[in-house]
Amino acid sequence: MPVLLNVQRALLAFRNWCRMITRSPANVQTNTIATRDEPALGWQTQLAQAIRDPRELCRRVGLEPSWLAGAERGHALFEVRVPEAYLQRIRPGDPQDPLLRQVLPRHVEDDTVAGFITDPLDEATQTPRQGVIHKYHGRVLLIASPACAINCRYCFRRHFPYQENSPSRAQWRDSLAYLRRDDSIREAILSGGDPLAANDRQLSWLVEQLADIPHLRRLRIHTRLPVVIPDRVDDALLDWLARTRLQTVVVLHINHANEIDDAVITACARLKALGVTLLNQSVLLHDINDSVDDLEALSERLFNAGILPYYLHVLDPVSGAAHFNVSDDGARRLIDELRTRLPGFLMPRLVREIPGEASKTAL
Protein backbone atom coordinates (compact mmCIF):
# COMPACT_ATOMS: atom_id res chain seq x y z
CA MET A 1 0.00 0.00 0.00
CA PRO A 2 2.62 2.62 0.95
CA VAL A 3 4.65 1.57 -2.09
CA LEU A 4 1.69 2.10 -4.33
CA LEU A 5 1.10 5.50 -2.79
CA ASN A 6 4.69 6.45 -3.42
CA VAL A 7 4.39 5.41 -7.03
CA GLN A 8 1.28 7.52 -7.35
CA ARG A 9 3.05 10.44 -5.72
CA ALA A 10 5.99 10.06 -8.03
CA LEU A 11 3.69 10.00 -11.04
CA LEU A 12 1.91 13.09 -9.84
CA ALA A 13 5.18 14.86 -9.19
CA PHE A 14 6.36 13.93 -12.67
CA ARG A 15 3.14 15.17 -14.24
CA ASN A 16 3.35 18.43 -12.33
CA TRP A 17 6.93 18.85 -13.44
CA CYS A 18 5.93 18.25 -17.07
CA ARG A 19 3.24 20.88 -16.73
CA MET A 20 5.69 23.32 -15.28
CA ILE A 21 8.27 22.95 -18.00
CA THR A 22 5.61 23.23 -20.71
CA ARG A 23 4.51 26.41 -18.93
CA SER A 24 1.04 25.06 -18.55
CA PRO A 25 -0.56 27.09 -15.81
CA ALA A 26 -1.73 24.03 -13.89
CA ASN A 27 0.69 25.21 -11.24
CA VAL A 28 -1.49 28.20 -10.48
CA GLN A 29 -4.23 25.84 -9.37
CA THR A 30 -4.55 24.93 -5.72
CA ASN A 31 -2.20 22.03 -5.05
CA THR A 32 -4.68 19.34 -4.14
CA ILE A 33 -3.85 15.75 -5.03
CA ALA A 34 -6.76 15.60 -7.46
CA THR A 35 -5.85 16.05 -11.10
CA ARG A 36 -6.90 19.33 -12.63
CA ASP A 37 -10.59 19.39 -13.36
CA GLU A 38 -11.14 19.00 -17.05
CA PRO A 39 -14.36 20.66 -18.12
CA ALA A 40 -17.18 18.19 -18.58
CA LEU A 41 -17.74 19.62 -22.05
CA GLY A 42 -15.10 21.26 -24.22
CA TRP A 43 -15.68 24.87 -25.21
CA GLN A 44 -16.59 23.97 -28.77
CA THR A 45 -19.36 21.69 -27.57
CA GLN A 46 -20.57 24.36 -25.19
CA LEU A 47 -20.60 26.83 -28.06
CA ALA A 48 -22.46 24.43 -30.35
CA GLN A 49 -25.04 23.84 -27.61
CA ALA A 50 -25.64 27.53 -26.91
CA ILE A 51 -29.29 28.56 -26.78
CA ARG A 52 -30.39 29.82 -30.19
CA ASP A 53 -34.13 29.79 -29.72
CA PRO A 54 -35.93 32.77 -28.16
CA ARG A 55 -38.61 30.50 -26.74
CA GLU A 56 -36.04 28.37 -24.97
CA LEU A 57 -34.25 31.45 -23.64
CA CYS A 58 -37.47 32.83 -22.15
CA ARG A 59 -38.31 29.47 -20.63
CA ARG A 60 -34.86 28.88 -19.16
CA VAL A 61 -34.71 32.26 -17.45
CA GLY A 62 -38.28 31.95 -16.21
CA LEU A 63 -39.81 34.92 -18.03
CA GLU A 64 -43.55 35.52 -18.29
CA PRO A 65 -44.98 34.46 -21.69
CA SER A 66 -45.61 38.14 -22.50
CA TRP A 67 -41.87 38.54 -23.29
CA LEU A 68 -41.89 35.92 -26.02
CA ALA A 69 -43.37 37.93 -28.91
CA GLY A 70 -40.72 40.63 -28.50
CA ALA A 71 -37.98 38.04 -28.21
CA GLU A 72 -39.08 36.44 -31.46
CA ARG A 73 -39.35 39.77 -33.24
CA GLY A 74 -35.82 40.81 -32.22
CA HIS A 75 -34.48 37.34 -32.98
CA ALA A 76 -35.68 37.71 -36.57
CA LEU A 77 -33.36 40.75 -36.89
CA PHE A 78 -30.33 39.33 -35.06
CA GLU A 79 -30.44 35.79 -33.78
CA VAL A 80 -30.38 34.79 -30.14
CA ARG A 81 -27.20 33.15 -28.90
CA VAL A 82 -26.50 32.46 -25.22
CA PRO A 83 -24.19 29.69 -23.95
CA GLU A 84 -25.15 27.79 -20.83
CA ALA A 85 -22.18 29.05 -18.81
CA TYR A 86 -23.45 32.63 -19.27
CA LEU A 87 -27.06 31.69 -18.63
CA GLN A 88 -26.03 30.32 -15.24
CA ARG A 89 -25.16 33.85 -14.11
CA ILE A 90 -28.62 35.24 -14.93
CA ARG A 91 -31.10 35.58 -12.03
CA PRO A 92 -34.16 33.52 -12.96
CA GLY A 93 -37.49 35.30 -13.27
CA ASP A 94 -36.01 38.81 -13.39
CA PRO A 95 -36.49 40.63 -16.70
CA GLN A 96 -34.33 43.47 -15.30
CA ASP A 97 -31.30 41.23 -14.81
CA PRO A 98 -28.30 43.12 -16.23
CA LEU A 99 -26.97 40.04 -18.02
CA LEU A 100 -30.30 38.98 -19.44
CA ARG A 101 -30.89 42.47 -20.83
CA GLN A 102 -27.70 42.12 -22.88
CA VAL A 103 -28.94 39.01 -24.68
CA LEU A 104 -32.75 39.09 -24.69
CA PRO A 105 -34.23 40.38 -27.98
CA ARG A 106 -37.02 42.95 -27.61
CA HIS A 107 -39.75 44.60 -29.68
CA VAL A 108 -37.95 47.94 -29.61
CA GLU A 109 -35.15 46.57 -31.80
CA ASP A 110 -37.54 46.95 -34.69
CA ASP A 111 -37.95 50.70 -34.13
CA THR A 112 -36.40 53.13 -36.57
CA VAL A 113 -34.60 55.88 -34.66
CA ALA A 114 -33.02 58.87 -36.41
CA GLY A 115 -29.21 58.65 -36.39
CA PHE A 116 -29.09 54.92 -35.65
CA ILE A 117 -27.81 53.15 -38.77
CA THR A 118 -26.48 49.77 -39.91
CA ASP A 119 -22.74 50.56 -40.25
CA PRO A 120 -22.15 53.38 -37.73
CA LEU A 121 -18.37 52.99 -37.86
CA ASP A 122 -18.20 53.02 -41.64
CA GLU A 123 -16.02 49.93 -41.57
CA ALA A 124 -17.09 48.87 -45.03
CA THR A 125 -14.85 51.59 -46.50
CA GLN A 126 -11.81 51.00 -44.22
CA THR A 127 -10.93 47.50 -45.32
CA PRO A 128 -7.69 47.49 -47.35
CA ARG A 129 -7.82 43.69 -47.50
CA GLN A 130 -10.58 41.27 -46.77
CA GLY A 131 -10.63 40.84 -42.99
CA VAL A 132 -8.19 43.73 -42.36
CA ILE A 133 -9.25 47.06 -40.83
CA HIS A 134 -6.49 49.65 -40.70
CA LYS A 135 -7.75 52.88 -39.15
CA TYR A 136 -5.12 53.88 -36.61
CA HIS A 137 -1.39 54.44 -36.73
CA GLY A 138 0.74 51.48 -35.67
CA ARG A 139 -2.04 48.96 -35.20
CA VAL A 140 -4.10 46.87 -37.52
CA LEU A 141 -7.25 44.97 -36.72
CA LEU A 142 -7.71 41.51 -38.20
CA ILE A 143 -11.08 39.79 -38.32
CA ALA A 144 -9.90 36.38 -37.14
CA SER A 145 -13.32 34.81 -36.82
CA PRO A 146 -16.72 35.87 -38.06
CA ALA A 147 -18.51 34.09 -35.21
CA CYS A 148 -19.31 35.13 -31.66
CA ALA A 149 -20.03 32.94 -28.66
CA ILE A 150 -22.86 35.23 -27.63
CA ASN A 151 -25.01 37.70 -29.46
CA CYS A 152 -25.10 41.00 -27.60
CA ARG A 153 -28.16 43.02 -28.56
CA TYR A 154 -26.27 46.35 -28.52
CA CYS A 155 -23.51 45.09 -30.82
CA PHE A 156 -22.31 47.57 -33.43
CA ARG A 157 -21.60 44.63 -35.72
CA ARG A 158 -25.12 43.24 -35.63
CA HIS A 159 -25.43 44.13 -39.31
CA PHE A 160 -21.80 43.51 -40.25
CA PRO A 161 -21.28 41.36 -43.35
CA TYR A 162 -19.36 38.70 -41.42
CA GLN A 163 -19.46 36.15 -44.19
CA GLU A 164 -17.57 38.41 -46.57
CA ASN A 165 -14.96 38.89 -43.89
CA SER A 166 -14.06 35.34 -43.04
CA PRO A 167 -10.77 34.94 -44.86
CA SER A 168 -9.37 31.70 -46.22
CA ARG A 169 -5.72 30.86 -45.74
CA ALA A 170 -4.83 32.36 -49.12
CA GLN A 171 -6.57 35.57 -48.09
CA TRP A 172 -4.69 35.48 -44.80
CA ARG A 173 -1.41 35.37 -46.69
CA ASP A 174 -2.52 38.48 -48.54
CA SER A 175 -3.40 40.21 -45.25
CA LEU A 176 -0.09 39.14 -43.73
CA ALA A 177 1.74 40.55 -46.73
CA TYR A 178 -0.03 43.86 -46.08
CA LEU A 179 1.30 43.89 -42.50
CA ARG A 180 4.77 42.84 -43.58
CA ARG A 181 5.06 45.70 -46.09
CA ASP A 182 4.23 48.44 -43.58
CA ASP A 183 6.85 48.68 -40.86
CA SER A 184 4.90 51.37 -39.00
CA ILE A 185 2.63 48.56 -37.79
CA ARG A 186 3.73 47.44 -34.34
CA GLU A 187 0.62 45.73 -33.12
CA ALA A 188 -1.76 43.19 -34.61
CA ILE A 189 -5.20 43.13 -33.06
CA LEU A 190 -7.24 39.98 -33.45
CA SER A 191 -10.90 40.83 -33.49
CA GLY A 192 -14.10 39.54 -35.01
CA GLY A 193 -16.76 38.51 -34.26
CA ASP A 194 -14.75 36.89 -31.56
CA PRO A 195 -11.24 35.76 -32.56
CA LEU A 196 -11.24 33.03 -29.93
CA ALA A 197 -14.23 31.43 -31.67
CA ALA A 198 -11.63 30.24 -34.22
CA ASN A 199 -9.96 26.94 -33.39
CA ASP A 200 -6.51 26.76 -31.85
CA ARG A 201 -4.92 25.18 -34.91
CA GLN A 202 -5.86 28.20 -37.02
CA LEU A 203 -4.97 30.70 -34.32
CA SER A 204 -1.66 29.06 -33.61
CA TRP A 205 -0.79 29.20 -37.33
CA LEU A 206 -1.86 32.82 -37.62
CA VAL A 207 0.07 33.93 -34.54
CA GLU A 208 3.19 32.15 -35.79
CA GLN A 209 2.90 34.01 -39.08
CA LEU A 210 2.48 37.30 -37.23
CA ALA A 211 5.45 36.64 -34.94
CA ASP A 212 7.48 36.10 -38.10
CA ILE A 213 7.01 39.75 -39.09
CA PRO A 214 10.05 41.48 -37.54
CA HIS A 215 8.49 44.90 -36.90
CA LEU A 216 5.48 43.48 -35.04
CA ARG A 217 5.92 43.75 -31.27
CA ARG A 218 2.52 43.11 -29.83
CA LEU A 219 -0.41 40.82 -30.23
CA ARG A 220 -3.72 42.08 -28.93
CA ILE A 221 -6.78 39.89 -28.68
CA HIS A 222 -10.19 41.48 -28.27
CA THR A 223 -12.46 38.77 -26.97
CA ARG A 224 -15.52 38.06 -24.91
CA LEU A 225 -15.10 34.29 -24.98
CA PRO A 226 -13.17 33.84 -21.69
CA VAL A 227 -16.09 35.66 -20.05
CA VAL A 228 -18.91 33.91 -21.85
CA ILE A 229 -17.43 30.38 -21.87
CA PRO A 230 -14.52 30.43 -19.38
CA ASP A 231 -13.51 26.90 -20.44
CA ARG A 232 -12.29 28.49 -23.68
CA VAL A 233 -9.07 29.21 -21.78
CA ASP A 234 -7.88 25.63 -22.06
CA ASP A 235 -4.48 23.99 -22.49
CA ALA A 236 -4.52 24.26 -26.28
CA LEU A 237 -5.06 28.02 -26.14
CA LEU A 238 -2.44 28.52 -23.44
CA ASP A 239 0.00 26.47 -25.46
CA TRP A 240 0.21 28.82 -28.46
CA LEU A 241 -0.04 31.90 -26.25
CA ALA A 242 2.91 30.71 -24.19
CA ARG A 243 5.00 30.08 -27.30
CA THR A 244 4.73 33.41 -29.10
CA ARG A 245 7.53 35.96 -28.84
CA LEU A 246 4.96 38.78 -29.18
CA GLN A 247 3.96 40.62 -26.03
CA THR A 248 0.32 39.78 -25.54
CA VAL A 249 -2.59 41.87 -24.36
CA VAL A 250 -6.05 40.39 -23.97
CA VAL A 251 -8.83 42.96 -23.95
CA LEU A 252 -11.91 41.38 -22.45
CA HIS A 253 -15.41 42.70 -22.82
CA ILE A 254 -17.35 42.79 -19.56
CA ASN A 255 -20.18 45.21 -18.85
CA HIS A 256 -21.36 44.21 -15.41
CA ALA A 257 -19.78 42.82 -12.23
CA ASN A 258 -22.20 39.86 -12.25
CA GLU A 259 -20.48 38.56 -15.39
CA ILE A 260 -17.35 37.79 -13.36
CA ASP A 261 -17.87 34.50 -11.55
CA ASP A 262 -15.26 32.09 -10.15
CA ALA A 263 -14.77 30.37 -13.51
CA VAL A 264 -13.94 33.72 -15.14
CA ILE A 265 -11.49 34.49 -12.34
CA THR A 266 -9.79 31.13 -12.90
CA ALA A 267 -9.58 31.68 -16.65
CA CYS A 268 -8.01 35.10 -16.06
CA ALA A 269 -5.50 33.64 -13.60
CA ARG A 270 -4.38 31.15 -16.24
CA LEU A 271 -3.81 33.93 -18.75
CA LYS A 272 -2.00 36.06 -16.21
CA ALA A 273 0.27 33.17 -15.30
CA LEU A 274 1.68 33.44 -18.85
CA GLY A 275 2.40 37.13 -18.40
CA VAL A 276 -0.55 38.27 -20.50
CA THR A 277 -1.77 41.81 -19.75
CA LEU A 278 -5.50 41.81 -19.08
CA LEU A 279 -7.63 44.85 -19.87
CA ASN A 280 -11.36 45.35 -20.14
CA GLN A 281 -13.65 47.38 -22.32
CA SER A 282 -17.29 47.96 -21.56
CA VAL A 283 -20.15 49.62 -23.32
CA LEU A 284 -22.23 52.08 -21.33
CA LEU A 285 -25.73 50.62 -21.50
CA HIS A 286 -28.97 52.09 -20.26
CA ASP A 287 -30.53 50.05 -17.44
CA ILE A 288 -27.58 47.64 -17.44
CA ASN A 289 -24.59 49.54 -16.07
CA ASP A 290 -25.48 53.25 -16.21
CA SER A 291 -25.25 53.90 -12.49
CA VAL A 292 -22.25 54.92 -10.41
CA ASP A 293 -22.78 51.93 -8.14
CA ASP A 294 -22.73 49.49 -11.06
CA LEU A 295 -19.63 51.03 -12.61
CA GLU A 296 -17.83 51.13 -9.28
CA ALA A 297 -18.68 47.48 -8.56
CA LEU A 298 -17.50 46.55 -12.07
CA SER A 299 -14.09 48.20 -11.67
CA GLU A 300 -13.60 46.64 -8.23
CA ARG A 301 -14.57 43.20 -9.45
CA LEU A 302 -12.36 43.53 -12.54
CA PHE A 303 -9.35 44.32 -10.43
CA ASN A 304 -10.22 41.40 -8.21
CA ALA A 305 -9.88 39.21 -11.30
CA GLY A 306 -6.55 40.82 -12.26
CA ILE A 307 -8.05 42.96 -15.04
CA LEU A 308 -7.64 46.72 -15.47
CA PRO A 309 -10.45 48.85 -16.90
CA TYR A 310 -9.46 50.28 -20.29
CA TYR A 311 -12.35 51.82 -22.23
CA LEU A 312 -15.94 52.63 -21.42
CA HIS A 313 -17.49 53.13 -24.83
CA VAL A 314 -20.59 55.13 -25.41
CA LEU A 315 -22.96 53.17 -27.58
CA ASP A 316 -22.28 53.16 -31.30
CA PRO A 317 -25.48 54.34 -32.96
CA VAL A 318 -26.43 51.06 -34.56
CA SER A 319 -30.01 50.52 -35.63
CA GLY A 320 -31.90 48.22 -33.26
CA ALA A 321 -29.95 49.33 -30.17
CA ALA A 322 -31.22 52.87 -29.53
CA HIS A 323 -32.97 51.79 -26.33
CA PHE A 324 -29.53 51.15 -24.74
CA ASN A 325 -28.37 54.70 -25.36
CA VAL A 326 -27.15 56.99 -22.57
CA SER A 327 -26.83 60.71 -23.38
CA ASP A 328 -23.35 62.27 -23.51
CA ASP A 329 -24.20 64.52 -20.57
CA GLY A 330 -25.43 61.56 -18.57
CA ALA A 331 -22.26 59.64 -19.37
CA ARG A 332 -20.03 62.55 -18.29
CA ARG A 333 -21.94 62.99 -15.04
CA LEU A 334 -21.49 59.29 -14.25
CA ILE A 335 -17.77 59.39 -14.94
CA ASP A 336 -17.28 62.55 -12.88
CA GLU A 337 -18.92 60.95 -9.89
CA LEU A 338 -17.14 57.66 -10.42
CA ARG A 339 -13.84 59.52 -10.23
CA THR A 340 -14.68 60.57 -6.66
CA ARG A 341 -15.03 56.92 -5.67
CA LEU A 342 -12.21 55.04 -7.37
CA PRO A 343 -8.42 55.23 -7.59
CA GLY A 344 -7.27 56.58 -10.93
CA PHE A 345 -6.04 53.20 -12.15
CA LEU A 346 -9.55 51.77 -11.85
CA MET A 347 -11.11 54.51 -13.99
CA PRO A 348 -12.04 53.46 -17.53
CA ARG A 349 -11.59 56.08 -20.24
CA LEU A 350 -14.93 57.26 -21.58
CA VAL A 351 -14.66 57.24 -25.36
CA ARG A 352 -16.58 57.30 -28.58
CA GLU A 353 -15.57 56.01 -31.96
CA ILE A 354 -16.03 58.63 -34.66
CA PRO A 355 -15.52 57.44 -38.25
CA GLY A 356 -12.54 59.12 -39.84
CA GLU A 357 -10.83 60.12 -36.57
CA ALA A 358 -7.24 58.97 -35.94
CA SER A 359 -8.08 57.45 -32.55
CA LYS A 360 -11.00 56.87 -30.22
CA THR A 361 -12.30 60.23 -29.04
CA ALA A 362 -12.45 61.08 -25.33
CA LEU A 363 -15.76 62.54 -24.22
Ligand X SMILES: *Cc1c(COP(=O)(O)O)cnc(C)c1O
The residues binding ligand SF4 (CB under 6 A) are 148, 150-152, 155, 157, 192-194, 224, 253
Question: Does 135 engage in binding with ligand X (CB under 6 A)?
Answer: yes
Q: How far is the CB of 360 from ligand X (least distance, A)?
A: 5
Site string for ligand X, 168-207 (x = CB under 6 A): ---------------------x------------------
Question: Does 143 engage in binding with ligand X (CB under 6 A)?
Answer: no
Look at residue 360 and give the partner it binds from ligand SF4, ligand X, none, a contact being a CB closer than 5 to 8 Å depending on partner kind.
Answer: ligand X
Contact 289, 98 (CB under 8 A): yes
Q: 52 or 360: whose CB is closer to ligand X?
A: 360
Question: Does 359 engage in binding with ligand X (CB under 6 A)?
Answer: yes
Write a three-state SS string for 44-79.
Answer: HHHHHCCECCHHHHHHHCCCCHHHHHHHHHHHHHCC
DSSP state of 318: B
Q: How far is the CB of 178 from ligand X (least distance, A)?
A: 14
Question: Does 139 engage in binding with ligand X (CB under 6 A)?
Answer: yes
Q: How many residues does the chain have?
A: 363
* Residue choice 133, 241, 263, 283 for contact with ligand X (CB under 6 A): 133
For the chain, report the end-to-end CA distance as a whole number of angstroms. 69
Question: Does 152 engage in binding with ligand X (CB under 6 A)?
Answer: no
Please name the amino acid found at residue 9: R
Contacts of 170 (CB under 8 A, 6+ apart): none
Q: 52 or 134: whose CB is closer to ligand X?
A: 134
Q: How far is the CB of 116 from ligand X (least distance, A)?
A: 19
Contact 186, 215 (CB under 8 A): yes
Question: Does 240 engage in binding with ligand X (CB under 6 A)?
Answer: no
Neighbours of 22 (CB within 10 A): 13
SS3 state of residue 219: strand
Question: Does 141 engage in binding with ligand X (CB under 6 A)?
Answer: yes
Q: 46 or 175: whose CB is closer to ligand X?
A: 175
CA 20 to chain centre: 28
- Name which of 315, 314, 297 is nearest 259 in CA terms: 297
Q: How far is the CB of 266 from ligand X (least distance, A)?
A: 26
